Structure 1
Amino acid sequence: MTTLNVSIAFFFLVVGICQALRWLSKRLLSPGAYGCLARELAGSLQLCTSCLELRMLMDIGPWGGGFGLDVVLTLLFLLFAVHGASLDGASANPTVCIQEFLLLETNLAATAAKLLAQAVGTATGWAVTKLFWSWELTQFHFIQNLIASECSSSVHTSLPHAACVEGTCSFLFHLILLKARQSHPMWGVPALAATVTFLTYAAGPFTGGFFNPALATASTFHCSGNSFWDYVQVYWLGPLTGMLVALLLYQGNIPRLFQRNLLYSHKSKYKIPKAKVTAPVEGDEPQRKKKGGKSKAEPRA
């Protein structure tokens, strides 16, 4: 339990530092610079450090700490709930940035700046976590330092299957994300956290369940077992394809590429009332003529 307490304290420390960084950046930088650079950098730093520490618990905990996968999944849900509430609109995920670009919500320069900030934040998070592990505050961190140089690939299946798994996870994640954006954060944040927890649990034995290219790059690209291009196919092309399919299924089109809706027809919100047409009844016309004739008749002298 000492290891778990140290890790939880590390999580709180990282969230607090990143929250202070966001608060300071919002005061010192312009809204554009904050939204494209500082917010994404702080969010990626927070997400990367937390997930690396949590993955260490997931790998070593079941056989070294006496706690099972249920504890790690509970921590994962709570962490992503905290991330969703504290990231202040940052995605910390390259596929989400590209999705916003395809939805015409950001331009090319802003998207490139966000991707750059995510890369810097993820690299910084990886370096900070490595430094924290080097202090060897617990036995888990000592074991992690011993096996870090000989880490193996997270891909435990064939490459096509692995890419399909990551693509499917990304597809489901982006579908829920697109729907959650239209709902209140009180419901959207827990829904996303539950989705991430379930997908990580389901895809973990096959690919590690990243469906975040930046996070996968920091976590597993340096490990032996697969080549760089193998990792690109699984952890970059797979999630990007899943995002595109989710966007097309949800929107019916990809606004940045084409405006025509291929799946859904837009109906007008306003209904035009139809005039009631009554069929003439036989015998009405002669009666009208008779009445008209009587009214036009001249009075007798």
Structure 2
Amino acid sequence: MSAQPGLWPEVQDTCTSLGLMLSIVLFVGLGRMSARQQLHRPLAHAFALEFLATFQLCCCTHELQLLSAQDSAHPTWTLTLIYFFSLVHGLTLVGTSGNPCGVMMQMMLGGMSPEMGAVRLSSQLVSALCSRYCVSALWNLGLTKYHFSERNLACKNPINSDLPQAIITEAICSFIFHSALLQFQEVRTKLRIHLLAALITFLAYAGSITGAVFNPALALSLHFMCFDEAFLQFFIVYWLAPSVGILLMILMFSFFLPWLHNNNTKKE
């Protein structure tokens, strides 16, 4: 029984963090409803929705990262939260990507105009920076004992390997995730969301040497100070590598596999 008083503050802090994340989801949901009702110009509408989606994704990931750091000895809990909030994002952010790589993929496949792509990309990057400062403001409130803005302002290098391995990890994670995103388009929505959430959880576990971000906007929000201190390294790992993964994925599905199929058909 003596362990209970010491355990309760930890549980209370965890519940507070979860409540904060769900409050952000609710706030973004209200913002999305308002944007749909008030913004009728396609570009303004797209900018607002993409801004809100990226904001939700970044803020929740900041808090998830904080929770995982407090309980690093039990990764199962962290992975469960990643799966749960991946489901939440999938259900609440329909029609947006919150990821510049997703926008690039649609542009390369001809599913989005360059003008719309530029608007969405700029929205994501602006939102990534705004979310960082919003999280700092929230942590300044001291809602839990782990909330203090200095934690968010410091650079904690998440790369736990040499540069080539980190580049390959981010490129492969981006390749796998966006390949699945492309192939799961015909799958029923509810099942697709669960499949993608499970895949994100797996990639977060398998790609732990870099954090398996495979999202340049999210990386900018999470590791902004590291970009400032070691820009080239972080640009290559978190921006260039996921983009290369996207390019390889498109080359494979749009050119290599059709070419292989045509060659096999001719031989038969």
2:47 counterpart of 1:37: yes
The gaps in structure 2 that reach 5 residues or longer are: 1-10
Q: Aligned partners of 1:25 and 1:148: how far apart in 2?
A: 29
Q: Indicate which of 249, 252, 277 corresponds to 2:252.
A: 249
TM-score (ref. length: structure 1): 0.79
2:234 counterpart of 1:231: yes
The structure number with the bigger radius of gyration is: 1
Query: Matched residue of 1:252: which SS?
Result: helix
Query: What is the identity, as a one-letter code, of the residue corresponding to 2:33?
Result: W
Q: Aligned partners of 2:234 and 2:178: how far apart in 1?
A: 21
Displacement, 1:152?
Answer: 2.2
- What is aligned with 1:95? 101
Provide closer, same or farther for how the CA distance between residues 31 and 262 of structure 1 changes in structure 2, counting only shifts above 3 A. farther
2:69 counterpart of 1:59: yes
Query: Matched residue of 1:106: which SS?
Result: coil
Query: What is the identity, as a one-letter code, of the residue corresponding to 1:190?
Result: H
Contact 1:153 1:224 survives alignment (8 Å): no
Higher helix share: 2
Q: Report matched runs for 1:1-301 at 5 Å.
A: 1-30=11-40, 32-33=42-43, 35-62=45-72, 68-142=74-148, 145-204=149-208, 206-223=209-226, 227-252=230-255, 261-265=258-262
Query: What is the identity, as a one-letter code, of the residue corresponding to 1:209?
Result: A
Query: What is the identity, as a one-letter code, of the residue corresponding to 1:160?
Result: P
Post-superposition Cα deviations, 1:195-250, rounded to whole Å, max 9, x if no partner, equal 1111011111x111111011011111313896101111101111011111122222
Contact 1:166 1:238 survives alignment (8 Å): yes
RMSD across aligned C-alpha pairs, in angstroms?
2.2
Post-superposition Cα deviations, 1:41-76, rounded to whole Å, max 9, x if no partner, equal 11001100000110111122337xxxx221111111
Provide closer, same or farther for how the CA distance between residues 264 and 30 of structure 1 changes in structure 2, counting only shifts above 3 A. farther
- What is aligned with 1:287? none
Query: What is the identity, as a one-letter code, of the residue corresponding to 1:170?
Result: S
Q: Aligned partners of 2:138 and 2:152: how far apart in 1?
A: 13
- What is aligned with 1:271? none
The gaps in structure 1 that reach 5 residues or longer are: 254-259, 269-301
TM-score (ref. length: structure 2): 0.89
